[in-house]
Amino acid sequence: MHSRTSFFILSILYRFHILLAQNYDEWPLQKNQSFPTRSSPIEIFTNEANFIRTPTPLTFYVDYSENDELINTGSAVEVHTKHTSETHVTGGVLYDDTYIYSKCRFYWNNDIQGDTRLRINGDGKPLEVQLIFYNNKYNNFTDALGYPDGLLVTSILVDVGPNENLDFNEFGNHLDEIEKSNTKINITSSTVFKWFDIFSVIENYFAYPGDYGGCSCATSIVCIARYNRPYISERQFTKFQNLKNADGGILENLEEPHGRHGRPIVYSNTAQEIQIS
């Protein structure tokens, strides 16, 4: 409780640095800029982030009508699109680049007092929703994996607390159906997206160069929903806690944050979601 309170105070009162003209080159990143390591996720300290004013807000165009697959892989829970998705994101720290939605992954800590992999000023959440997109200048996700500007990863941290999120229940029932490892079911994108905000107007986000599964190929965007942070109840969270891994044990995917290693972090504060279907 104490750490959450101090997090809010910190995030409201913290005076972010204005990005100075002489280090503006730090962002957008040169597409081929190399870093000694780009491992994600990291722990973000807001006093290390430079505020950036982008020409347009980061904008998510979301199609709620698509048919996807929800999968328990035995080591993760993922949603995969079956066809090229209409859901995409552009603007903000992406400038003119457009990234097409490809998959969604869930990371959680079965201890609801614990954190997932991402932390901000020492504070994490037990559940993280990660959306993975690929740059539309490449043919498909696999093709995009090979390029420094190939992928975009966005993370949304979800609170677990006393209140039920009614929009979660349909998704929660589907989690029951994939309790066993190596099972998958059909699911619509609305069932996946509707219980957390992808984004809505005036949110705050951090961005830094990250990676995906060890390849040096992702621009990572880390998101915090400050005013309408998504949440589910402890009862609803048991749907994740009941999932089984490949050995029939408890599925969980914990990882410690990686080092920042001199990578730039920027902070911006306008993002929005536009429903396209």
List residues binding ligand NAG (CB under 6 A). 30, 32, 34, 82, 139-140, 142-143, 185-186
Tell the smallest beta-carbon distance from residue 185 to ligand NAG (Å): 6
CA 108/CA 121 separation, integer angstroms:
19
Bridge partner residues of 27 (DSSP): none
Give whichever of 58 and 178 is closer to ligand NAG, judged by the CB atom: 178
Give whichever of 56 and 186 is closer to ligand NAG, judged by the CB atom: 186
Give whichever of 5 and 34 is closer to ligand NAG, judged by the CB atom: 34
- Chain-centre distance of CA 103, in angstroms? 11
Nearest residue to ligand NAG by CB is 139
CA 114/CA 138 separation, integer angstroms:
38
Instruction: Tally the C-alpha atoms within 13 A of residue 88's C-alpha that lie toward its C-beta.
Output: 15
Give whichever of 30 and 163 is closer to ligand NAG, judged by the CB atom: 30
Tell the smallest beta-carbon distance from residue 161 to ligand NAG (Å): 33
**Block residue for tokens 């309408």:** 228
Measure Cα distances from 79 to 37, 171, 183 in Å.
28, 11, 12
Give whichever of 47 and 186 is closer to ligand NAG, judged by the CB atom: 186
- Chain-centre distance of CA 26, in angstroms? 22
Tell the smallest beta-carbon distance from residue 138 to ligand NAG (Å): 8
End-to-end CA gap in the chain:
39
Bridge partner residues of 46 (DSSP): none
Tell the smallest beta-carbon distance from residue 102 to ligand NAG (Å): 11
Tell the smallest beta-carbon distance from residue 195 to ligand NAG (Å): 22
Bridge partner residues of 129 (DSSP): 106, 156
